[in-house]
Structures are given as structure tokens and as C-alpha cells.
Chains A and B, each alone.
Chain A
Amino acid sequence: MDSIRMCDLAPGRTGVVLSLGNTGAMKRRLLDLGLVEGSRVKCLGKSLWGDPAAYEICGAIIALRSADCSKILLREVCE
């Protein structure tokens, strides 16, 4: 079972959250938005500069920065 960092999730691919390495305010934000262990995340696209990227979380589109996503581990799944 390979884990990848959320920032490495390619556009169009989906993953299931394994762990959140973020701390403090950022972690609370992510939890509030529904990014908890076991939830599904889909990468929808990246900005022109590759960062931030847009993800589908809990039905909504949320843009997150690579630095923050690099701390989130996912298990990629096939949709």
C-alpha cells in the first residue's frame, strides 16, 4: 500500500487520506473543511505556476498550497 504526498497527486486522480502532518491553525482549517483521515480527495487541477492546486474535498473545491499538501499522505485509489 503505497502512500503519496497530496502535492504529488496528479490532476484527475483521487486519493484517500492516511494522515495529516500539518499542525496548528492549518490543521484545524483542514479538519473543518472535511479533510480527515479516511476522506476522499480528488485533484482537479493546478494553477499556472503549479501551486496552489485545486482539490475536491467533501464536495467542494478548495485550493491548497504545495507546502501544506506535502504534509498530507494519501493512498491513491482508482475512480
Chain B
Amino acid sequence: MSTYTVALTGNPNVGKSSLFNALTGLHQHTGNWTGKTVETAKGFFQTTQRRYELVDLPGTYSLAAHSEEERVARDYLLSGAAKIVVVVCDASFLQRSLHLALQCLSLTGNVMICVNFMDEAEKNGLVLNLDRLSEALQIPVVGCTARNKRSLQPLLSAMDHFSPRRSQPDPERTPEEIAERAKELYEMTVTEAPECASVSFRKSDAVLTGTVFGLAITILSLALLLWITIRGANLLSDLLSKALTPVGSLLDCAFSVFPPWLHGLLYDGMWRVLSWVVSVMLPPMAVFFPLFSLLEDAGVLPRIAFTLDRPFRACSACGKQALTCCMGLGCNAVGVVGCRIIDSPRERMLAMLTNCFTPCSGRFPILASVSAMFFIGEEHALRSAMLMTALLLFSLFLTLTATRLLSVTVLRGAPSAFALELPPYRMPQVGRVLFRSVFDRTVVVLGRAVIVAAPAGMVIWLLSNLPVGDVSLLRAIAHIIEPAGKILGLDGVILLAFLLGLPANEIVLPLILMGYLSSGVLPELASAGDVRAILAANHWTAETALCVSAFTLAHWPCSTTILTMYRETHSLKWTIFGVLLPTCVGVCICMLLHGAFSI
């Protein structure tokens, strides 16, 4: 059986990816077009007649080659690699989808149209005459509902029997001509059209986006998302630690054949740090990102960007940056990748560089435990929540100020071309969402973390077990950098812990404890009371706690984020800037705090 290459193209939000997933199932992988930061997916599926390679092109409004996505789609279509080009349209929004179909027809003759969401259209009383459309355009036109596999039969059949009826592509048309032709075709196809779009807006969106009540709901929903993440993550962390313990014991036995130093290096060093990073880093991501993806699928995120656009624009950012900040709450590396949703390169860079001011789930424990210990006393849930909220608002303040500052200095320019589509609310597809969010976002990020955590663990072990005189190398270095730490209101051990916490912020607090206890090994998670005792015994004051909190919010990004920034920006210069920016901000804030306390 020969393999036919089929390209899927269409506007954003038409369910192209759902169709792709329905056809290819798990036989797919997402990747980047080489050298470009545009997501694509390739997969395989088979009918009784043929084998197909399906290429999911980026969703675009046009093929005019003005943005990265459009260029990629256009180049692919012109290359002739695809034997069939399927233009996916949304039945309820056919008119605009036809703009793209007409543009496709100017590029190639091997086009067919697949109208998705037929079930929704039927429910709304929309009647479409697809045969008439097919006649008018001289190409196959089928309908389907991507969620329902059985409805895909006509599409598969059309693909199996596809033969281009057109030998030459159409001549290029101006946008006005395309709009007129699309309108003609639309009126020919749609025989009954109740007011669907307006109705869906009037009911929920007017409240959600147009009132203070709606804004409150938006913010509370984000807070709820956060709360579920923290709670869920704690549970998962415990489970994961318990699951990893037998693996650890196994390795312990396996390594015991090695000389003690090698055993220590591999087990106490590499394994300990690795298992720590995995059991603390993975759970928040595993909870946050599926939830976030569900919101994304349901169509909630554009509403948030819509509501928050104005306040963000006052700081020279844009509403979509609010979304990337939200993603940063789960993991900064994912937040940086998420900046792809911002179209303007300048605003995208602004969002990427300032994303690290949003505390990721790895930094939450530091903020929560340190501040709770010193500011609240015993567990007072409400007060801790208020304190965390205050810290988050401060981090938002830092993000917006940094964005503003950058936009008047190194990243000057006008606001971008902003046009945000508010798709209809849809039931998110749980299975697909979980698959995509777990693999694409979590595992890839975790992979990068692990690559750095393993060697870092060995380095940490070496530092804490190589003696220099009668103290460990770790302690000796901490002593050397003590003056630097003191200026920042910290001390040598804390500063060194932050430095060694480069692979993952999760290990900063354990490193601090390890440094103070002069133990050669990362400690197990101790109780809050024990931790407080250790810190107090090492001269921690309210000032120290405050400076540690501030430095946690503003210091160099973790290695995963740095690697991701480099991958997204393709620029060493900007990556270095992205490391220096939060560092300088953190240093300044800490010095100011220290100065204030010394008066």
C-alpha cells in the first residue's frame, strides 16, 4: 500500500486538532517545524484502500505569508508534498472559513473541504447544503463531527476516492474579492441560519467580560485553579515519593557493590536529587496543566485575555500575557513556551523575559514555608492564604513593572495588531486533553530538568563530602561568599543554595538545611517545626525571611527555563538577558531591604 500525504488546514478553533486526533489516535507526534517556533503534528492512519500520512498545519486566518504560521502553511501547500489538502471549516462559522478555502484554491488544485461541528450546527437549527457548495467550487465537500468517529466515514470515503477535479489553481484574488465570493458561497450553502453567534455571546460573555462581577469570577477561578493545584500536588508528591522509595532501595543495593565514594556519588548525590526533583516537580505540573488545558479547550482562556487586556496594556503588555503568567504559575518553562500565543515578536519577548517573575510551583513551597514560619506562627490557613496572595500580587507588580521598563528601553515599539477570537464555549475533550497536556508539556519539561538534575546531584554530593580542612567544600564555599550573602540580607549558605538550586528551585530549601546541618546528604522533608528550629539556630530573622522571599521571586531562572528560553528565542543574547534581568532586580530589592533593616 502506498502512503498518501494529506495536509489539514483551517482557521483556529475549527476543531482541526480534534479531527487530527480522531483520525490518527496515538500514532502521532508533535514537534516543531525545523528552526521555527510553530507547532505541528504528523500522524498515520489507514483505511481499507490506502495508507495516509496526515500533516496538521498550523491554524491560520489566511495564507498570505505575513506571520510565521502563515508562511509555514503556505510554503507547505506550495511544495506539493500533500496529495490532498483538507480545509477544515466550522459549520457554524462557515463564511469566514471559506476565505481560507478560496485562498487554498489559489495555491493548489488538490483541495477538499471538511465541515466540522455539524452536530452543533444541527442543534442550533442551521441547515447546510454541502452538495451545492461542492458544485459551485468543483471540489468534494463533506460534513463531520470530529468527536464522533462514525461520522468520519464520508470524509474517509472522499479521501479514498479523491481525484483532483481542478488542473490549475485559481488566480489570486484580492481580499475584497475573496470576501465577496465567500459571502456568495455562504448564502448559497446556508438555507437556514438562526442567530447563533450573538446568542452565545449575550448569555454568558456579557456578564463575564463586561462587569466587575465577571472580573471577580475570573480572578477567583484562577485562585481556585491554584488551590486545587497545590492541594492535588501535595497528595501526588507523597504518593510519588512512596513509589520511588522501593526504586531507591533497589539502586542502593545495586550500587553497594561499588566503592563507598561512588556509591555515595550515585545514590546519595545523583539519585537523591533526581528523585526529589521528580517527586516535587512533576505533581504540580501534572495537576495544573491538564486543568489549564481543559480551560483552554473549553474556550475560557480567550475570555480571560479579553478581560485583562486593558490593565496589561497600561503596562505596555497585552492580555495574552496574563495567560502566559498563569502558565508560569505551573512552571516557568511552560510559561515561556506558552508565549507563542502572542503574535507580536516584541510582546512575545517581553512576556518571555518577565515570565520568571511569576513564582512557579517549585518556588511556592519556599515562599509558603518561609513566610508562614516567620510571619504567622502556627498554621493559620487564612492568614497564610492572604500572605501568599500578597506575594503573588507583588510578583504581578514586578512582572508589569519589568514589562513597562523593558518596553521603554530595550524592547521599544508600538502595541501589536490585536484581534482576539472568542470561540464558542465547548465541552472539553477529556481524553485528548490529558494525553496532550501530560506528554507535550509535562514530560518534555521534566526531561530537561532531569538532564540537569542528575549531574547537579553529583556535584552537590561532591561539594558536601569533599573535606577542606575540617569542613566540607560546601561549607567552605559558603563561608567565602558569606559577605556577598550578607549584603543581600541572606548568608553564604542561602546564597549557595540558590546557586546550586539552578536545576530546580525545589531543592533550594533542602540545600539550605543540608548546609546548616553539614550533612552529606539532602534531608528528608522535615516537619515545619524542625525546619524552623534549624533556621532559628542559624541566625534567621524576619529580615532574612523577607529577603529570602524577595530573592525567591526575583533571581535567575531555573536551568529548564533557561534552556527553554534559548530554544524559543534562538538567541544567546536574549537568553543571557533573561538570566540577568531577574537577578539584578532581585539583588537590588534585597540590598534595599537589607539597607532598610540596618537603619
Contact = CB atoms under 8 A, between A and B. Distances in A.
Given A45-B210, A54-B306, A62 B421 contact: yes
Contacts of A13: none
Given A29-B61, A54-B201, A60-B197, A49 B419 contact: no
Interface string B164-192: 00000000000110011011000000000
Given A47-B310, A54-B209, A32 B99 contact: yes
A27 B444 CA distance: 38
B9 to A, nearest CB: 14
Interface stretch (B41-49, B88-96, B328-336): B88-96
Contacts of A48: 209-212, 214-215, 307, 310
A25 B175 contact: no
A59 B424 CA distance: 11
B418 A61 contact: no
A28 B64 contact: yes
Nearest to B60: A32
A36 B418 contact: no
Contacts of A28: 62, 64, 66, 417
Interface string B55-76: 0000001101010000000000
Interface residues of B, number: 46
Contacts of B211: 48
Contacts of A45: 201-202, 205-206, 209-210
A5 interface: no
The CB with the most chain A CB atoms within 10 A, among B211, B215, B422, is that of: B422
A77 to B, nearest CB: 15
B523 interface: no
Assign chain A's interface to a size class.
Answer: 35 or more
Nearest to B67: A25
B420 A52 contact: yes
B61 A33 contact: yes
A10 B310 CA distance: 19
Given A59-B92, A59-B94, A44 B62 contact: no
A4 interface: no
B598 interface: no
Interface in B282-313: 302, 306-307, 309-311, 313
Nearest to B344: A25
Given A29-B417, A45-B201, A54-B205, A60 B210 contact: no
Contact of A39 (B179, B202, B418, B420): B179
Nearest to A50: B310
B99 A34 contact: yes
A42 B201 CA distance: 12
Contact of A65 (B176, B180, B418): B418
Interface in B81-112: 92-96, 99
A4 B538 CA distance: 70
Contacts of A24: 417
Nearest to A39: B179
A25 B419 CA distance: 11
Given A48-B212, A49-B311, 11 more contacts: A25-B416, A33-B61, A33-B96, A42-B198, A50-B310, A58-B96, A61-B200, A62-B421, A64-B419, A65-B313, A65-B418
22 contacts: A26-B419, A30-B419, A31-B175, A31-B179, A32-B64, A33-B61, A33-B419, A34-B96, A34-B182, A38-B176, A39-B183, A45-B201, A47-B306, A51-B309, A51-B310, A52-B309, A59-B96, A59-B197, A60-B421, A61-B201, A63-B422, A68-B419
Interface of B: 61-62, 64, 66, 92-96, 99, 175-176, 179-180, 182-183, 197-198, 200-202, 205-206, 209-212, 214-215, 302, 306-307, 309-311, 313, 319, 415-423
